[in-house]
Structure 1
């Protein structure tokens, strides 16, 4: 571990201790060396942190450490299996509210990224939103004499180098934790850092965000109620993203929504059903739908979403699994839910389907007939993780981000309509998908998938045959050589020698 990485780790540890973040750790679960470290670290806490809760302290510490650590918090919010459902729910509230960088740098950054196209962007406003990776400005795009209001997202100067340095320190810290605290290996700290690393690499290229907007626009072009901005590709680069300006009421401003005469119950329905439609039908969904990224259209056309830096994707197999699970909870068919876990291979075959169904009933029955106000999704997720762990089900990384996103969407929906019944609103979307998959169209798509696999296999056969013939030619040539006979004798002798040694060990064992 280099000197710079060591210094960054020490600095991070000091800030975490000073801000009281170590209070979220249960010392009983730690080895003696780490217990001592946590106790010593808590001696550095500032007096003011005593007034806040442990998770609130952690959030303040992450903000103090800067953008990379805010991203760590957001990543851990997707891993309730590691930090616990309660901590994950609190970390999900981390919204990238950072100090903006110097506005005087903006013209130079635009010119560097867009070259002569930068001149098309005029009347650039001061930053209207500043996050850990980038900030957003309002501007006017002048093309062919036409004015168009746009949003311009610009990466922070030096953010890539900052992330690389911080990630180097985090990799080093994760390696130390795995080496000196074996009990933490099951939490896979290095894998957590790798997840953050991959997420950061994707978010640090704004062309990929533009591509996500484009793909989602294709998916929802026939849908009503869910609005996303349009990309100006001529004014988009690795460090700059330009989209159409969307004018809406912040979803958190309930009073303004009411004053505009908008139907909050309808907005809640649109939001929840749109998210489920994107996940279940398309397998591609906005994975950061917190209140800061959502607006209500002023003209009553529905929900507006922005910031597509974090997207989720699940395969058709996982979409069918998800739909079956949700539909099973809606219809109270717990044995079907349990069977689907076994069918897809998430729960080992040696477990009991009936026992698993009984455990799922203990989760699902308390939800029936309840409104969103009565349901704590953090508690439900915590119980679900505990139950699946009891039945040897490993956490599915492809579903964790989806589960975290569902919690965010339900939270916003609950704010808009406290009486919302999540399951009743979900049934039209999930039920239609389940019925479609079970019907002729679903069967045809299954046959198409199998046919594609078969055709792909057939297409590779000539190459496999060619390689097999070459291997046989080599074998025949080697077989005819004197050296081949010698090698064969040596292998046979080695085999019998190992067999004799094994027999001797067995005899010795049972004496």
Structure 2
């Protein structure tokens, strides 16, 4: 009851903020709502004092402004919704996709307090210099530039082991004070709203809103521990260790803790600054191709991808290397899911719609009672308007958006594990197109996808899988034999115990019979003796 009351109060505040931005329009699309929500929808605009008059803005723009004002949890929610064209429409997807985490910075005193508490040392001991002004302030954390002292080898003829002190530039990321509790409160509200939506709108159940909120909660939990982000950066650095065209900042583990992360500073130009990139002599077309290549390597080759690859998180160094930052949101994909995605995209882009439909059925994404031929026809209705255009106009992101729009017709449940991938693919394509408007995602992606499919889906790959499975089985054989031997020994022990128990029971029965015979004999002898005594008397 207390939870419902708290959620209702929070909902009132949220509704007032949405009303101020004239962003309660989405409630009009519900078929039926609880009475108190209907009343709220009618009266809230009246009480939304100081309402932002933004009739000239689109619905999605007004909603984005309201979510930005509501804070970090709602910015994350807007980003999650920005990949659900089947739920909110393509136009609103574009508007919410423009959400950026822009919040006022917290004070330097709070930053110092967090650093010294987490790293258990005074700020002056940890850093040679620390800029009190943040260079970036987002919904979850803010970043300060600093320098650290390091002793590096400087051998001389007189002293081969000599060292000298150098200064190294770093970036320090610090969580916002109280951000954990703020997210926890809002996530409870999101769960409650998802449950209400699924209860009062049965057709929403296939969207698995509760599951989506669970994934969001898991993602936020990881983001709240900067050690996990540092670990993700370290893993991706290993995956691309031999790649000269993609880099990851080096983590300073000695100055990293749960709420503080220190990494090497990126000396480069933001990929959003096209004029500066051109002035520095960079080839924008090559950078555009590299964005797609790196994205596909992360997804297909590694199954571990940066799920927030927007312009603000990508930089270009002087030698043309693409460097990513902010590894708080990461995605993982099993090999089976990667195979599905690769084959599905390949089927669409080669116009093999029957195979595209079969892949969805084989993956269990479409219920078996639905018609395979009808789903293939639906796939064709999506693919032809897109693929029939000139190659420069083909958009993989648009293809995915269109594909998700047919899910309701065929009772397809939302696949939460694919949402991050869809969001990242749309974002990566957007970044690539901002550098080269004429880029064709498929032309850039085809060599990487085709090579990966040959290696992972060809006859040799299948034979390798069989061989791998066989080797794995052979490795298990000793354990299987040992387990079987243990089971046989256990069965023998049980059988012996049962035999011993039966023998004991039989022995006990015989002893009872003997004792019974002795007792009966005693009774008879006693009776005879008594009879003789009576006769003698």
Q: CA deviation at 1:272?
A: 0.7
Partner of residue 27 from structure 1, selected from 22, 26, 29? 29
Q: Report if the CA contact (8 A) 2:23-2:62 is conserved.
A: yes
Deviation at 1:40? 3.4
Whole-Å separation in 2 of the counterparts to 1:463 and 1:39: 69
| Partner-residue secondary structure (3-state), 2:320 | coil
- For 2:268, the equivalent position in structure 1 comes to 248
Determine which of 212, 216, 221 is the counterpart of 2:232.
Answer: 212
Are 2:100 and 1:95 aligned? yes
Indicate the residue corresponding to 2:403 in structure 1: 384
The answer to whether the 8 A contact 1:85-1:381 is kept is no
Distance 1:86 1:195, change over 3 A: farther
Query: For residues 87-128 of structure 1, what are the alpha-carbon distances to aligned partners after superposition, in whole Å with 9 as ceiling and x for unaligned?
Result: 334323222111110122222211111123852323222111
* 2:128 is equivalent to residue 122 of structure 1: yes
- For 1:188 and 1:21, the matched residues in 2 are separated by 24
Counting only pairs closer than 5 Å after superposition, residues 50-449 of structure 1 correspond to structure 2 as: 50-116=55-121, 118=123, 119-125=125-131, 126-144=133-151, 145-179=165-199, 184-301=204-321, 303-368=322-387, 370=389, 374-375=393-394, 379-437=398-456, 438-449=458-469
Match of 1:13 in 2: 15
1:72, distance to aligned residue in structure 2 (A): 1.8
Q: Contact (CA 8 Å) 2:394, 2:440: kept in 1 or not?
A: no
Structure-1 residue corresponding to 2:522:
none
Distance 2:470 2:81 in 1: 37
> Distance in 1 between the 2:55 and 2:487 partners?
69
> SS at the partner of 1:150?
strand
**Pair member with larger Rg:** 2
State the SS of the aligned residue for 2:262. Answer: strand
Aligned counterpart, 2:526: none
SS in 2 for 1:149: strand
User: What TM-score does the superposition give when structure 1 sets the normalisation length?
Assistant: 0.84
Kindly tell me: are residues 28 and 212 of structure 1, through their superposed partners in 2, closer, same or farther at Cα, counting changes over 3 Å?
closer
Task: Find the counterpart in structure 2 of residue 502 from structure 1.
Answer: none
TM-score (norm 2): 0.80
Alignment CA distance shift 1:445-1:190 (3 Å): same
Quickly say closer, same or farther: Cα 1:447–1:394, change in 2 above 3 A.
farther
* Equivalenced residues, count: 477
Distance in structure 1 (CA, Å) of the matches to 2:59 and 2:251: 41
- Contact residue 208 and residue 413 of structure 2 kept, 8 A: no
Contact 1:373-1:414 within 8 A present in 2 as well: no
Check conservation: 1:55, 1:87, Cα contact below 8 A.
yes
Query: Retained in 1: the 8 A contact 2:360–2:366?
Result: yes
* Aligned-CA RMSD value: 3.1
Give a deviation string over 1:247-288, Cα, whole Å, max 9, x none. 111111111111112111000000011101110111111100
C-alpha displacement at 1:452, in angstroms?
3.5
